[in-house]
Structure 1
Amino acid sequence: MDQFFLLLKYAFFGFVQGITEPIPISSSGHLVFAEKILDIHIEGFSFEVFMNFASLLAVLVIYREDLVRLTTNGLNFTMTRDRKYRADFMFIVYLIIGTIPAAVIGIVAEDFISANLKDIKVVGASLIVTGIALWLIRNLRGRKYDQDLSIKDALIVGLAQAVALIPGISRSGATIVAAMGRGMKQETALRYSFLLYIPVSVGTMILSFGDIKNDPLLDQLLIPYLVAFLISFIASYISLKWLIGIMARGNLKYFAIYCFIVGPLVILFM
């Protein structure tokens, strides 16, 4: 019976992580809420890394055609300097540039964030900030396509991703808001946001390898982790597909309203 409830707990948290990771309502914040509400603690150092990897796989599956095209055309431009491949090559360059702010700030400020910014009230306030940002850009209809991006666009969206290191600030929300604020079309903003997630997620996994290897509970929790991983992957896939449809219809305001409701409730009652 204890093993059953253990599996059930990790399956639940895998679902929460998966369903909230792609959409702009902060997966890290919702994991904190879930632990607080249910008075359940997730054991082990490796859980969040496993769940992020599950969401990463969902992103790779959904954007696989873009990744193949970018890789192929990027290599072709490197070898031939043919201008018809230049736009995809530069998109890769902008992804690299956009990754730098979060990588640097994450390394420098990780201990400070863990020690000072994971309070439940901070998460609630951050969720309100996310809602305000989403509300401000809810009616924007940009004109920039993939080939129209610039170094400045990449840096600003990258800085927004770094801000999302604060629990309660949605990574997808922050990057989509910044991208649309820079005039990107919804499709371009969404693609850039989630392709930007790939190097950050891979980097996090690499940096966390030592923690996973030395996790004393890894053997004991391997099966619960795998169950949570599978559920998180499925939930992330469904959630991202849903977000793509919502972005196409311009309905980001509903996420803003959700943040406006949940954020104050967290501050007042948790």
Structure 2
Amino acid sequence: MSVIEAFIFGVVQGIAEFLPISSTAHIIIVQLVFGYSFPGLTFEVILHLGSILAVILYFRQDIIQLIQAFFRYLSQRNAEDRLEFMFAIYIAAATLITGVLGMVLEDILADSIKTPVFIASALVLTGFFLILIERFHKIGHRTEENMTFFDSVVVGLAQTLAVLPGVSRSGSTLIAALYAGLNRETAVRYSFLLSIPVILGSSVLAFGDISGGALEAMGTSALITAFIASFFTSWIGIVWLIHFLNKGRLIYFALYCFVLAIVVVTFLENTQPVAAL
């Protein structure tokens, strides 16, 4: 893999990871355009580690606060820590649901979900629900103080669908959280913090598929470039999305998904990766 190709993959991963447009679909589309596939999961793990480092550093204060409040409440039962304690529990509950059901769903569908037609269909579905939640559902006003286990179940189930390329993880969690009645600020915070255990967990599970041969084939320079590009563009994506959601509309992401679906079906329907990087 060339450094330029690695940079392109890193930028695509970083920009798409936290926007409601499905990073998995975009990575597969770029592979189809280039005409090759990754040898194992080594490169995908590197890309995701760049994204997860960005979100951990960006939300480091929230993470530290959650962890400290969680253990303080366990040991001291301070009333002022209960809110963050329960928020951490809701993150854990949604993660558990996604982890268990996601692995089952992925094992059942396997590679049949990585075809251009399936990806295009999933992108259309993502776009449809983005429009539905914005145009036909009144955004709620509930915050962390009003969250319940039902919220974590709804969001966890929705996040499970993100194993399907074209269904955005951030999009599905945002849509589900807003549908459950959370306000935008709470939904965004929940979605981003929820991404940490999910992406980190999937990366850890994939460590067993990292091979020295794949690392050697792709080259150290390419891997470092992809990681750095993924990290910085993920950071940019986080900052931009948070700012955008305070003023912008989800319908723009929906339109993008529709256009991309048309492009995929029109130009990539019969395209298949032909060689390993």
TM over 0.5, shorter chain: yes
2:105 and 2:163 in contact (8 A); partners too: no
Map 1:115-194 to 2 at 5 A: 115-139=111-135, 140-194=138-192
For 1:100, the equivalent position in structure 2 comes to 96
Partner residue of 1:27?
23
Partners of 1:22 and 1:172 within 8 A in 2 = yes
The answer for the alignment partner of 2:4 in structure 1 is 8
Q: Is the 8 A contact 1:44 1:217 kept in 2?
A: yes
Distance 2:31 2:9 in 1: 9
Find the aligned partners of 1:151 and 1:64 in 2 and give their Cα distance.
25
Contact 1:10/1:225 (8 A) holds in 2: yes
Contact 1:128–1:264 under 8 Å retained in 2: no
TM-score between both structures, scaled by the size of structure 1: 0.93
Q: TM-score, normalised by structure 2?
A: 0.91
Question: In the alignment, which of 43, 67, 70 is matched to residue 71 of structure 1?
Answer: 67
Residue 88 in structure 1 maps to residue 84 in structure 2: yes
Would the aligned equivalents of 1:44 and 1:216 in 2 still touch at CA under 8 Å?
no
* Structure 1 residue 145 displacement after superposition: 0.8
Q: Is the 8 A contact 2:45 2:207 kept in 1?
A: no
User: What's the % identity of the aligned pairs?
Assistant: 37
Would the aligned equivalents of 1:138 and 1:250 in 2 still touch at CA under 8 Å?
A: no
> Which residue, out of 260, 263, 266, partners 1:262?
260
TM-aligned CA deviation for residue 111 of structure 1? 3.0
The separation in 1 between residues aligned to 2:41 and 2:169, in whole angstroms, is 21
Contact 1:125 1:264 in 2 (8 A): no
Deviation at 1:44, TM superposition (A): 4.7
Matched to 2:215, the amino acid is: L
Structure 2 match to 1:218:
215
* Unmatched runs of 5 consecutive residues or more in structure 2: 269-277
Does 220-229 or 47-56 show the bigger shift? Answer: 220-229
* Residues 226-252 of structure 1 deviation map (CA, whole Å, 9 limit, x = unaligned): 110001000000011100011111421
CA–CA separation in structure 2 for the residues paired with 1:188 and 1:45: 33
Q: Deviations over 1:190-235 (max 9, x none)?
A: 11111111111221122112111x3422134232111100010000
After TM superposition, the structure 1 stretch with the greater mean CA deviation from structure 2, 166-175 or 32-41, is 32-41
Gaps (5+ residues) in structure 1?
Answer: none
CA RMSD of aligned residues (A): 1.5
Match of 2:129, as an amino acid? A
C-alpha distance in 1, partners of 2:105/2:212? 23
TM-superposition CA deviations, 1:165-207 (whole Å, max 9, x none):
1011000000000000011111110111111111112211221
1: CA distance, partners of 2:171 / 2:97? 17
State the Cα distance separating 1:107 from its structure 2 match.
2.4
With over 3 angstroms needed to count, the CA separation of the structure-2 counterparts of 1:70 and 1:121, relative to structure 1, is same
Shift in Å at residue 113 of structure 1? 3.0
Q: In the alignment, which residue of structure 1 is the partner of 2:251?
A: 253
Q: What residue is the counterpart of 2:195 in the other structure?
A: 197
Write the letter of the residue equivalent to 2:78: D
The answer as to whether partners of 2:16 and 2:237 remain within 8 angstroms in 1 is yes
> Quick check: 1:246–1:252 contact (8 Å CA) kept in 2?
no
Q: 2 CA distance for matches of 1:21 and 1:52?
A: 9
Shift of 1:108: 2.0
Q: In structure 1, what is the Cα distance between the partners aligned to 2:232 and 2:19?
A: 14
Matched, 1:45 2:53: no
Q: 1:142 aligns to what SS in structure 2?
A: coil
* Cα distance in 2 for residues equivalent to 1:122 and 1:16: 20
1:146 Cα deviation (Å)? 1.3
Tell which has more relative contact order, 1 or 2 (C-alpha 8 A, sep 6+). 2
Residues matched between the structures, number: 265
> Compared with structure 1, are the counterparts of its residues 215 and 106 closer, same or farther at alpha carbon in structure 2 (3 Å cutoff)?
farther
Kept in 2: contact 1:128–1:263 (CA 8 A) = yes
The one-letter amino acid paired with 1:98 is: A
Partner SS for 1:216? helix
